[in-house]
Structure 1
């Protein structure tokens, strides 16, 4: 069947306020730049700039922040048919500091947020058969009614054989009990073809106790989690996931397949300014390559290139690279093949 669209992403959307004072302690920030954010929105933007036809399924408030988000999406040619305006709710917001090389504190404002209030009725209006791929982010599973809506969307995608990509996307402060994050994610994994996560997110999916988590300097997106990473990877693959991509920062990505194949895809050496959103950039580059029918290695190399370009910038979605920019960057950095050791 000839698909009308390439990908629909499901979950968070927000206005993101990034510190204008790079390197300043959070208490010394004097001003912020307003961008858009939320993992699914970031991924949709990255995919659209690479040339894919994208939709976003999320919720925004009937407010000026909702207008801000919708205006950005429309300017990026992202289909907003399934961006619901939620009466009485607020578009969510995130405030972020930038203290390279290793401190990126952030604060979420998600009380009564619109994106968590997408419903089964909203999802029932989506023709999943029109898409080649569905991407979901796990923070959308943190509360109802969004949790049930995501499960319903995945079920509908499965019924028409549309592959589902899960970004494990662990944000500890969005869960009333962090152990429920793992319980919820594990119950969904059997319906997912491809899962993507950092080592910490992989461990979070198998979390047994709150004491395994340490969050320093309010780096909600980069907690330290103890556990056996190889055991966690094995358990995820046993759920039925066909492909697991483990993001390892500057080292690139390790690919695990249900057939037992394991290989590393190296990253691109850059000096990062801001790592927030790098994983979303990776996902967009990978999805582009995957939908082109590329090998997993080449698709991950594309993802690594997107991530490497975005970490050089002070925001995420607003700085996603175009296809021309990514191919030029990859060509200047050794191409798609394994870099030659000097």
Structure 2
């Protein structure tokens, strides 16, 4: 029976990135075809670092599904658990790149195959063969993927598999943004490690939809108003052992179950494209964590992965290798 260091669960897509860096979306003349979706990005990043990675997602019986699967196989990500969903479509995303702070996204996820993974798909996996299960918050927005995620978390806990939640708030994927918080709060007691931006943590504790504002169609980076310290306390109170708060160029803050905080600096770079930086961070963090590193060093590894990806015009296609990350860290002052 094959064993895996990490299994990621949730979205996968073809990502069409603007070739016209800096152009307004209406002036884009062409797109480069990459792949994406937070769980796919993380699985790819983990595989490039040398971990045995697998992905549970769904793709359609279409050419886009062929494109996604071909990429994953080339990258050494195990596709055993990726079903073809009859009658569904593989997801697509269009993305603009306007450095330093404007990155509009358009999702095409009607009848998305990755939202149709089921409890049966989870049951086909022996969780005792998985060291770490990574789950994505966006997969909680619809059935049947919502139940599949909860079931996977329950099975992982029963088998002693470490569970990690990438909170992954995509505001336009929810008919009521408040339901995002309801689902995340229900899942957190089954989670060992949670990772999110300040905005995602605030969204997880959202009380009113008016707290969320999306400007310039930046779906992955909405403005969310609220008390971040209170949100952190509430997440920890739900039982996670480790909470990592991503703070952009300021690095991350990592909290233990007792609420003790340690700040981990990032690596100063001038970003070209911030999309995918959080997924790169997760892959680097997971690598360090599974290799027995302490949380500080694991977060530095994550910060290094993120810093390298923001210099590139895409996500999964540009995840760093282990040698590249170690060289980057050495060039920037070490761990």
- What SS class does the counterpart of residue 52 from structure 1 fall into? coil
Aligned counterparts, 1:121-140, within 5 A? 121-140=120-139
The 2-side partners of 1:236 and 1:330 are apart by 31
Task: Compute the TM-score of the two structures, normalised by the length of structure 2.
Answer: 0.99
Measure the CA separation in 2 of the matches of 1:271 and 1:172.
27
Is it true that 1:219 corresponds to 2:209 in the alignment?
A: no
Report whether the alignment pairs 1:185 with 2:184: yes
Aligned residue in 2 for 1:19: 18
Cα distance in 1 for residues equivalent to 2:154 and 2:321: 32
5+ residue gaps, structure 2: none
Q: Offset of 1:50 from its aligned partner?
A: 0.1
For the pair 1:201 / 2:204, whether they are aligned, the reply is: no
C-alpha distance in structure 1 between counterparts of 2:216 and 2:128, whole Å? 44
Per-residue CA deviations over 1:66-123 (Å, capped at 9, x if unaligned) read 0000000000011000011000000000000000000000000000000000011111
CA contact (8 A) 1:119 1:146 kept: yes
Q: Distance in 2 between matches of 1:59 and 1:270?
A: 35
Deviations 1:173-220 (A, max 9, x none): 101110000000000000000000000000000001110011100000
For residues 13 and 216 of structure 1, what CA distance do their matches in structure 2 show?
24
Q: Secondary structure at the match of 1:280?
A: helix
- Matches of 2:65 and 2:139 in 1, distance apart? 18
5+ residue gaps, structure 1, are: 337-342
Contact kept, 8 Å, 2:233 with 2:259, in 1: the verdict is: no
Residue 190 of structure 1 aligns to a residue in which SS?
helix
Partner of 1:165: 164
SS at match of 1:83: coil
Q: Is the Cα–Cα contact under 8 Å of residues 3 and 129 in structure 1 kept in the other structure?
A: no
Aligned to 1:155: 154
The equivalent residue for 1:339 is none
Say yes or no: does 1:238 pair with 2:214. no
Structure 2 counterpart of 1:67: 66
Aligned to 2:157, the other structure's residue is in SS state: helix
SS for the counterpart of 1:197 is strand
Per-residue deviation, 1:3: 7.9
Secondary structure in 2 matching 1:170: coil
Matched, 1:78 2:77: yes
User: What residue is the counterpart of 2:98 in the other structure?
Assistant: 99
Offset of 1:259 from its aligned partner? Answer: 2.3
In structure 2, the residue corresponding to 1:111 is in which secondary structure? coil
**Corresponding residue for 2:28?**
29
CA deviations 1:224-263 (Å, max 9, x no partner) are: 0100000000000000011000000010000111123211
- Secondary structure in 2 aligned to 1:164? strand
Match for residue 340 of structure 1? none
Q: Secondary structure at the match of 1:17?
A: strand
Aligned-partner Cα distance in 2 for 1:8–1:273: 29
SS in structure 1 at match of 2:180 = helix
Instruction: Report the TM-score when normalising by structure 1.
Output: 0.97
Q: Distance in 2 between matches of 1:155 and 1:68?
A: 32
- In 2, the alpha carbon distance for the partners of 1:30 and 1:278 equals 25
Match of 2:332 in 1: 333
Measured after TM superposition, the shift of residue 332 of structure 1 is 0.3
CA distance in 1, matches of 2:318, 2:121: 30
Q: Does 1:228 align with 2:227?
A: yes
User: Does the aligned pair in 1 maintain the 2:236–2:259 contact within 8 Å?
Assistant: no
Q: d(CA) in 2 for partners of 1:182 and 1:214?
A: 16
**Does the Cα contact within 8 Å between 1:62 and 1:88 map onto a contact in 2?**
yes
Cα deviation digits, residues 298-336 of structure 1 (max 9, x gap): 000000000000000000000000000000000000100
Partner of 1:291: 290
Q: What residue in structure 2 maps to residue 308 of structure 1? A: 307
